[in-house]
Amino acid sequence: MDTLNQIFCISMTFGPAGLALTAAATTYSTSTAFNFANKGLVYAKSTIAATATPTTDGRTGAALAGIVAGQCTVLVWCVDSSGTVKVLQGGIGKCDAAGNITDAPQFPVVPDTLTPFAYSTHRAASTVVGTWTPGGSNWNATGMTSTPYNIAALPDRPATV
């Protein structure tokens, strides 16, 4: 087999994981078992039932940053080769008073040891009180809109709707 044109091995998810963010809680789940590849090796991940959302960034180890009214952020949901879920936080962008994204946050750098299976955007309208923190505040806190997106591979930028 000619491997001269094979520059790198692919890391991607095969099929939607069905990420769900439990509304009045800080937990997440997946509705579907899924297969994923990391550096060309294929693995399987079973469904995840109501599990606590990580509170630290899976790449940096730092606490996930909170957002206040008028801000938005993006979380990238990944698995490593052992099937452990890790969350990476991107930048913090801006929203208008209604929570519509006006300056989108950027995705974080994803190390090659992780495979993204979903990402989620989190938008704080003007009615958010105090600081909303991923893994520490309810997904449906007043004024918050949290939207999960199931992916095969990370797109070039987060959705802004």
Nearest alpha-carbon partner for 13 in 34, 32, 40:
34
pTM of the entire structure? 0.92
**Residue 81 and residue 49: Cα distance in Å, rounded?**
19
Residues 115-145 have pLDDT tens digits of 999 999 999 999 999 999 999 999 999 999 9
Amino acid at the residue 140: N
pLDDT of the residue at 7: 54
